[in-house]
Structure 1
Amino acid sequence: MILVTGGTGLVGSHLLYRLASNNDKIRAIYRSEEKLDIVKKVFSYYTDEVDALFNRIEWIKADLLNIPDLTEAFKKITHVYHSAALVSFEPDKYYLLKQTNTLGTANIVNLCLSNNIEKLCYVSSVATLGKSLTNAPIAEDTFWNPEEDNNVYAITKYGAEMEVWRGTQEGLDAVIVNPGVILGGGIWNHGTGNLFKRVAKGSKYYTNGVTGFVAVQDVVNIMILLMDSEIKNESYILVSEHWSFKQFLQRIATHLSVALPKKEIQPWQAELGWRLDWLRNKITGKNRFLSKQMAQTINSKSVYSNSKITSLLQYNWTPIEASIQTVSKQFKTDN
C-alpha cells in the first residue's frame, strides 16, 4: 500500500489522481475535512468519475508532529510519497516552518525506517539548492552555503533534505525531487494559484526576475517513474523552462483576458518595500507580505539545469505556455 502525505496540497492532490487511476492501493493523510473538497475539484479536471476514484483512497486524519497518528497511518505501507509541507517566507514563522518541514520530515523518515518501507519519495524545492558562483546553471550538486542570507522556507526544507539523507545512511531507499515553481490548478488562495487570482483581479505590477517553472503533471509523472524504478538515494531538479516573472504574469493575463501587468517594480522599490512591510508588521502585527529575501529573489535571475533527470528518463516536458493555458481554463471554471 502507498502512503501520501500532503494529500490535499497541490502536488499531493494531482498525485492521488494518478495513483487512484492506476488502481494502486492508497492511503492519504489529511488535516481538515474541508480540504478534501480540493482533491475532488482536482479530480474533476481529469474525469467525470470523481467519487469513484476518490473513494478508492483510504483517508486518515493525522499531523506530521503526532507520532501516534502517524504510526497508525504507516500500518501495512510499503511506499511513501512525502509531499506535505508548510510554505511561507515570513521570517517570524521560522519556528513553525521548522516544526512542520524539518521535524515533520524527520518523523516520516523514522517511521519509514521502523516500518521497513521499501522506498520514500520526498518533494523538496529548488529553494534548497546553492547559488551558482559562475554563469553555469544551478545543478543538484551546487554547494549550499549556510552562511548565505537564505530565506526561512529554504532553510527548513534543506533541513528536511538532511533528514532524508540521514535516513539513507540508516538503510532507507529514497529519492528527492526539487521542483521549480509548480503550475497546477485547484488551490487559488496561496502558492502559484494565487498569482492567477491576483492577475485576474487586475494586478498591474511585475518584476524582471527569472526562475524555473514546471507543470504539476510533470512533477507527478517523474515522481511515479522514480518510485517505480531501481533508482535510489539521488536527487533531481524538476524544471521545464525558465521565464521572467514579467513574461509569466503577462501570459496569464492574456489567457484570462484581463489587462496586462505593465508597471515594473524596480530593485530599489522592492528594497524599500520590504522595509516598509517590516515596519507595518511591527506596528499592526499583520502578516508579512514581502521579506528581505523575497525582495531580492523577485529581481534575481536563477537558472537551473534539468539535464540529470531529462537524460535519465528521456523525459519530454510540458511546455509552460500550455500549462499556463490549462491552469487559466481551470481558474475560470472554478471562479
Structure 2
Amino acid sequence: MILVTGGTGLIGSHLLFQLAKSGNTIRAIYRSEKSLKKVTKVFGYYTENPTQLLERISWVQGDITDIASMEAAFDGAHYVYHCAALISFDPRQLDDLIKTNTEGTANIVNLCVAHQVKKLCYVSSIAAIGKATKGKISTENNEWTDTNVSVYGLTKHDAELEVWRGSLEGLPVVVVNPGVVFGPGFWRSGSGSFFTYANKGKKSFLPGGTGFVSVNDVTKAMITLMESDIDRERFILVSENLSYGEVLKRIAKKLKVQEPIKQAPFWALELFWRWDGFRSKVLGKRRRLTKNMVKGFRQQETYSSEKIRTMLDFEFDNLQDILTFCCEKFKN
C-alpha cells in the first residue's frame, strides 16, 4: 500500500496519476471535497478517461497537523510520499508555515516510525538548500545559514531535520529538493502564475533567476528513488537554471502574446516591498513582495542536479516541452 499526502496539489496529483497508471494500490489524503476536483482536472490533461484511474485511489480525509485524523490513513501503509506543504513567503504566515511544514512533517515521521513504514519520500525544496557564494553553484552539500532566507525556506529546512531525525530512528528516507516546478492545472498560484502573468502581455519582468523543473521529472525521480535501495540521501531536482525574464519570454512566445522586454528596476522593487509591508499591516493583506525576496532577485541562483544524474543515471526532460504543454492547456 502506498500513501500520498498532499495528493490534491501540483506534485501530489501528478504523482497519483503516475502511480495509478502503473496499477499500484494507493491511498491519498485530502482536506476538502472541493480539492478533489483539482485531481480530476489534472488526470484529464493526460487521459480521456480519468475516472478509471481515479477509482484506483482510496481517499481518506485528514490533516497532517492533526495526528489523530491521520492514524487510519497509515493503517497498512508500506511506502509514504509526503508532498503536503504550505507555500507562502509572507512573514505574517510564519506560525502557519511552522505548523504545516515543520510540525506536520514531524507528525508524518512519527506515524511512519510507529507503523513501521518501509520507506518515506519527502518533498522539500531548493529553498531549503544552503545559499552558495556569489558566482558558485549550489549543491546538496551547501552549508545552511539562516541569513536572508524566506520564512518558507526556514520551515522546509526544519522539516528536513524532522525527516533526518526519523532516519536515526530506523526509518529509511529519501528527500527531493525541486526547483520551481512547472506543470498544468494550478494557474492562480505557484508556478502557474508565470502563465497567468505572461498571458497579460506585460512589458516588464523581475530580475534574477533560479532553477526550474518539470513536474513529471519530479514524480519520476521520486518513484525511482523509492524503488531503489538508496537511503538517507537528498537530491536537487533542477533541469535548467534560467532567469525569470527568459522563462516569461518563452511562455509569452508560446501563448502568442507580447514578450516582456524590460527588467523591473531595483529602486521600484525597493519602494514596492516597503509599500507592500505597510499595506499588509494596515489592511491585513497578504504580502506579495518582501525584503528578502528583493535581495534574492539581485543574483541568478544556480543549482546542480549532478548527484541524481550520476547516482541514478537520471535524464531530465526538455523543459521547453513542459512549457509548451502547459501553454496548450492554459489556452484551453
TM-score by length of 2: 0.98
Partners of 1:269 and 1:134 lie apart in 2 by 23
Q: Which moved more, 1:319-328 or 1:160-169?
A: 319-328
Does 2:275 align with 1:276? Answer: yes
What root-mean-square deviation, in Å, do the aligned CA atoms of Structure 1 and Structure 2 show?
Answer: 1.1
Residue by residue, what CA displacement relative to the aligned partner does 1:80-122 show, whole Å, maximum 9, x if unpaired?
A: 0000000000000000000000000000000000000000000
Separation in 1, partners of 2:130, 2:40: 37
Gaps of 5+ in 2: none
In structure 2, give the amino acid aligned to 1:130: G
Which residue pairs with 1:320 in the alignment?
Answer: 319
Which residue does the alignment assign to 1:120? Answer: 120
The equivalences for 1:194-213 within 5 A come to: 194-213=193-212
**Contact kept in structure 2, 1:43 and 1:50, CA below 8 Å:** yes
Which residue in 1 is equivalent to 2:175?
176
Q: Partner residue of 1:236?
A: 235
Quote the Cα distance in structure 2 between the aligned partners of 1:201 and 1:222. Answer: 34
Q: 1:330 Cα deviation (Å)?
A: 1.3
Q: List 4+ stretches of structure 1 deviating above 6 A.
A: none
User: Which 5+ residue runs of structure 1 have no aligned equivalent?
Assistant: none
- What's the counterpart of residue 13 of structure 1? 13
Report SS of the residue matched to 2:58: strand
What residue in structure 1 maps to residue 73 of structure 2? 73
2:265 matches 1:251: no
Q: Give the aligned partner of residue 110 of structure 1.
A: 110
Give the secondary structure class of the aligned counterpart of 2:301. Answer: coil
Q: Which amino acid aligns with 1:277?
A: D
**Secondary structure at 2:235's aligned position in 1?**
strand
Structure 1 CA distance for aligned equivalents of residues 66 and 309 of structure 2: 38
SS of the residue 2:202 aligns to: coil
Measured in 2, the distance between the counterparts of 1:309 and 1:76 equals 30
User: CA shift at 1:41, angstroms?
Assistant: 1.0
Task: Give 1:260 shift.
Answer: 1.2
Range with greater deviation from structure 2 (197-206 or 123-132): 197-206
Q: Distance in 2 between matches of 1:47 and 1:108?
A: 31
Task: Kindly indicate whether the alpha-carbon contact (under 8 Å) linking 1:207 and 1:299 is maintained by their aligned counterparts in 2.
Answer: no
Structure 1 residue 285 displacement after superposition: 1.8
Distance of 1:275 and 1:108 partners within structure 2 = 38
Q: Secondary structure at the match of 2:174?
A: strand
Hey, what does 1:87 align to over in structure 2?
87
Q: Comparing 114-123 with 272-281, which one deviates more in the overlay?
A: 272-281
Aligned length: 332
Cα distance, 1:261 vs structure 2: 1.6
Is the Cα–Cα contact under 8 Å of residues 270 and 296 in structure 1 kept in the other structure? no
C-alpha deviation, 1:202, in angstroms = 2.8
Aligned counterpart, 1:303: 302
- Give the Cα separation in 2 of the matches to 1:128 and 1:271: 25
Q: Residue 201 of structure 1: CA displacement? A: 2.4
Cα distance in structure 2, aligned partners of 1:301 and 1:128: 17
Q: Which amino acid aligns with 2:189?
A: H
